[in-house]
Amino acid sequence: MNFTAQEMKLLQRLRKRERQWRWVRWLLLVTGIFCIGLCAMFGFLLHSLIDVSDHGQFNTTMVFFMLLIWTKCCFYFIFGVWCLATVNQNWHGDVNRMLLLKLLDAQENDAQKALLP
């Protein structure tokens, strides 16, 4: 089977991603835990801001900081959960990518054996 230049480029990218996954999974795991920790820290900061307020009466500056902290808390939580879910799903590698690369390697080996006398 002959591949075009664009298809060969895509195959090289797949092989590169397969090699990089060994250390990227640990990076994603640490990033996910760090983001969940930041979410908890911002949540405690938000809780302390609410406790500091005078019986539920907030000025505009306090509301601005609470909104700013809440959006960061939500962003870090969603990103951390995404990182952890990705690592959980693909810890041993992407099965589709691995199978495709193994099939292509086997086909190349068979083609090379057929050319040898």
CA 81 to chain centre: 9
Q: Is residue 34, in this structure, part of any structural domain at all? A: yes
Q: Is residue 4, in this structure, part of any structural domain at all? A: no
**Residue 5, pLDDT above cutoff 80:** yes
Q: Is residue 82, in this structure, part of any structural domain at all? A: yes
111: tokens are 């083609």
44 lies in which domain range?
A: 10-115
Q: Is residue 59, in this structure, part of any structural domain at all? A: yes
Number of domains present in the structure of the chain:
1
Q: Is residue 2, in this structure, part of any structural domain at all? A: no
Q: Is residue 47, in this structure, part of any structural domain at all? A: yes
Q: Is residue 80, in this structure, part of any structural domain at all? A: yes
Q: What is the pLDDT of residues 7-58, one digit of tens each?
A: 889 989 999 998 999 999 999 999 999 999 999 988 888 888 777 766 667 7
Q: What is the pLDDT of residues 10-20, one digit of tens each?
A: 989 999 998 99
SS (H, E, C) 44-93: HHHHHHHHHCECCECCHHHHHHHHHHHHHHHHHHHHHHHHHHHHHHCCCC
Q: Is residue 5, in this structure, part of any structural domain at all? A: no
